[in-house]
Structures are given as C-alpha cells and as structure tokens.
C-alpha cells in the first residue's frame, strides 16, 4: 500500500533527539530521509550509552530508522556544495543547530528559498531565534527552566525530571505537525515556508492544565507526587503487595470504586461526595482507601475495579508495559531488516492509517553508509539538469 509521504525527500541536518525524531516520523510516513552527519563521529547520540548494539547506542536506534546516512564536512567548500545540492532538491529540511549556524554555512532558509521556493524549512532550537538564540537547548535544562520539574516529584521534595526526554519528544511532535501543515499549504500554493519550533515554547504548551491554572487563576502549582491538582482520587495507592493507580474522573466512578472496596458509605460522605470536596480532603480520602486496599494484592483489586468500570492499573515496568500492549493486540514492536542480515527491534509507530500505513523500510544506518550512493545520485541529477556536478 502507498505511504502518505511517498516521493518526498527530507534533508535531515539535525542531531540528538528532537530533530531526528521528527525526521523519523516523516520517514515512517513514507518520505525518503537523508541524514547528514559529520565525518568521524556523526550524530553524538551514536555514543550515548550504554547500552550499545553492535557498537551503536540504543538511544540512536530509537530515532533514526528509515534514513540514509551521508557524511559531509560542512567546514569545507566541497561539503557545503554537496549539502546545498541536497537541500535544493529536498521537499523538507530539518535542522537544529544554534540559530544562525546554517546561515553562516550558506544553508539558511534565506539562502535556499530562491533556488528551492517550495522548500519547507524546519528549524528547531532551544529558546527561539531571538534573545535566546545563543542559549544551549538540552532536554534536562528545558525541563528545569520551562517549569516542568517544578510540578514533578514528591510533594515537598526535590524537583524531579521526567524519566524520558519528554521536551524533545514534544518539540518533535510539534515540528512534525507544523511541517505537515506547511506541506499542505505548499500543495495549495506551490510555496514553501520557514517553520520554527523551540523547546521552551513546546514545554510551556505541554504544561496544559498546569499552565492554564497559572494564566487564568494566578495559581502557581507545585509538585504533588503522583496526585492530581484538580481530581481525586487520581493517584497511586498502596495495596497489600504493591502500589496501584486509580484514575477516578467523576462521581459515578468514585461510587463504583467505593462499592468494589466495600466502603459504600464513603461515596455519600460530605467530605467525599463531590470531586471538589474530595480534592479538599484528599489526605483523609487516601487513608480511607488504603485501609480498604490493604486486605488484598494490587492485581486482584485492579481486576475487580476494571470489571466495575473504574480506571485502574498496576505500576508496570517497561517490560511489563510492552507485554500488556502485546496482550491487547497492539503490536508494540516492529522489526527492521539489516542489509548485512539479522533484524533490529524498534518501538512500533503509534500512527495507524488505514489507507496509507507507516512502513519500516530501513534500519538505523551506519555512519556514512550511504554517502557514495547519495552523492552519486545528486551528481547524476546535476548532470541531467546541466548543472555543475556534485563531486562524490
């Protein structure tokens, strides 16, 4: 079946996570992605480990499938010439250098749009292209200065980062949405455009209800551990053997929870009868619930709650989470064939399109694996067009 973005060429000048993840999503949707890397070391994420698989970090493998790797020294005229040849033929360019770097190399949007007016040029930065242009943008730093750590972690405890680079992922998703919108605009008008996404704006947007509490009610929230600032019980609770999570979002679900636990009277207790009352008395409510939960293992409670329509679950490890998804028929793991034999396991794309499904065509590439191949293609195209050939 055809892929949604089949025929599109993406020049991926990015490294680390946000840019590569966005480019990979485009590749999953069918685009041909060429990843430009520096000779010798390549994308620094290749060395972010352990664990390593055949000398490449698992981190790199997470964001670079469906790409070809080309090594170019952008500090040389030959390297910039080859990069320009690729960029002028690309439909999309993704880069996450510090603002101004690509322009100094002759590869900025202003330099490329005259030669390639249909180019969708996506720049991802830490703090935008204005006053924050020179500030380095790393996920951990953005989780801190962007406010996310201030609402994460135990109440009264040390601010805590999320266990994955969530700001990079948020920025990548925002960038991908913007790129697809720009491509739709180009479909109507023929004109490309500059797309700018920064990590700080992405994390602020990702604060959703917490940001809204500040903007609309001047509430500056703090950390509550696993509790929710506006809904209760929506937290981890101790059972006889291990914690479980309940995510009760309305009074009906709370009544069902009380019935399961054999404490039906709590549902009509004035302290707990409404969500607002439960939030005001969250500590007393947690004590009541955990007293009841202490009589049985978490899994037994979860089974009974689920059968009664109460959202609940145990706190899974990552291995258990993949097993759960497999048990539910979600096919959470994909495998990509290696050119030299064998296969690479990767997290399956969560995108499920009925007419234009995602595909897994290329395993994450070895550094420079496709340099000769791609530069030869560019040289051949230049020769056909009567242009100065690219030196492979």
Report yes or no: 126 and 202 within 8 Å, Cβ to Cβ: no
Q: 3-class SS at 133?
A: coil
d(C-alpha 350, C-alpha 190), whole Å = 30
How far apart CA 193 and CA 120 sit, in angstroms, is 5
- Collapsed DSSP state (helix, strand, coil) of residue 160: coil
Length of the chain: 392
Set 73, 168, 241, 391: catalytic member: 168
> Distance (Å, rounded) from C-alpha 4 to C-alpha 102?
29
Alpha carbon distance 139, 163 (integer Å) = 11
Cβ atoms of 56 and 210 closer than 8 Å: no
Contacts 24+ apart (CB under 8 A), 251-254: 251/275, 253/309, 253/310, 253/311, 254/278
43 as an active site residue: the answer is no
Backbone angles phi, psi at 390, to 5 degrees: -85, 130
Q: Could you say which DSSP state residue 91 is in?
A: S
Task: Give, in degrees to the nearest 5, the angle at Cα 17 between 349 and 75.
Answer: 130
The DSSP H or E segment spanning 140 is: helix 139-145
CA geometry: angle 334, 4, 191, nearest 5 deg: 135
User: For residues 174 and 194, what is the distance between their CA atoms, to the nearest angstrom?
Assistant: 14
Q: Residue 124: how many CB atoms within 10 A of its CB?
A: 27
- Residues assigned a catalytic role: 168
């Amino acid at each position: 079946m055809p892929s949604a973005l089949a025929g599109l060429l993406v020049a991926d000048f990015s490294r680390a996570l946000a840019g590569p993840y966005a480019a990979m999503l485009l590749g999953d949707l069918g685009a041909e992605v060429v990843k430009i890397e520096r000779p010798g070391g390549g994308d620094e994420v290749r060395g972010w480990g352990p664990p390593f698989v055949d000398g490449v970090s698992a981190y790199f493998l997470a964001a670079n499938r469906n790409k070809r790797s080309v090594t170019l020294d952008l500090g040389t005229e030959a390297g910039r010439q080859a990069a320009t040849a690729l960029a002028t033929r690309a439909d999309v360019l993704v880069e996450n250098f510090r603002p101004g770097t690509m322009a100094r190399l002759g590869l900025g949007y202003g330099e490329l749009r005259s030669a390639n007016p249909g180019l969708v040029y996506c720049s991802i930065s830490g703090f935008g292209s204005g006053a924050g242009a020179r500030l380095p943008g790393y996920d951990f730093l953005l989780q801190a200065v962007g406010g996310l750590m201030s609402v994460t972690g135990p109440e009264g405890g040390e601010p805590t980062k999320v266990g994955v680079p969530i700001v990079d992922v948020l920025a990548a998703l925002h960038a991908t949405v913007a790129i697809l919108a720009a491509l739709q605009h180009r479909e109507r008008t023929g004109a490309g455009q500059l797309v700018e996404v920064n990590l700080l704006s992405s994390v602020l947007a990702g604060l959703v209800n917490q940001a809204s509490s500040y903007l609309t009610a001047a509430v500056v929230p703090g950390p509550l551990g696993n509790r929710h600032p506006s809904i209760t019980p929506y937290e981890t609770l101790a059972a006889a053997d291990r914690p479980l999570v309940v995510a009760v979002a309305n009074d009906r679900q709370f009544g069902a929870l009380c019935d399961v636990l054999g404490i039906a009277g709590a549902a009509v207790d004035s302290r707990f009868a409404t969500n607002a009352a439960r939030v005001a008395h969250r500590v007393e409510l947690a004590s009541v619930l955990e007293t009841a939960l202490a009589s049985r293992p978490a899994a037994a409670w979860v089974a009974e709650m689920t059968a009664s329509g109460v959202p609940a679950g145990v706190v899974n490890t990552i291995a258990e989470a993949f097993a759960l998804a497999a048990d539910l028929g979600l096919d959470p793991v994909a495998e990509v064939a290696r050119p030299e034999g064998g296969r690479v396991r990767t997290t399956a794309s969560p995108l499920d399109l009925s007419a234009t499904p995602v595909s897994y065509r290329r395993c994450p590439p070895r550094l420079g694996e496709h340099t000769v191949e791609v530069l030869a293609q560019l040289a051949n195209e230049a020769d056909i067009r009567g242009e100065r050939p690219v030196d492979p």
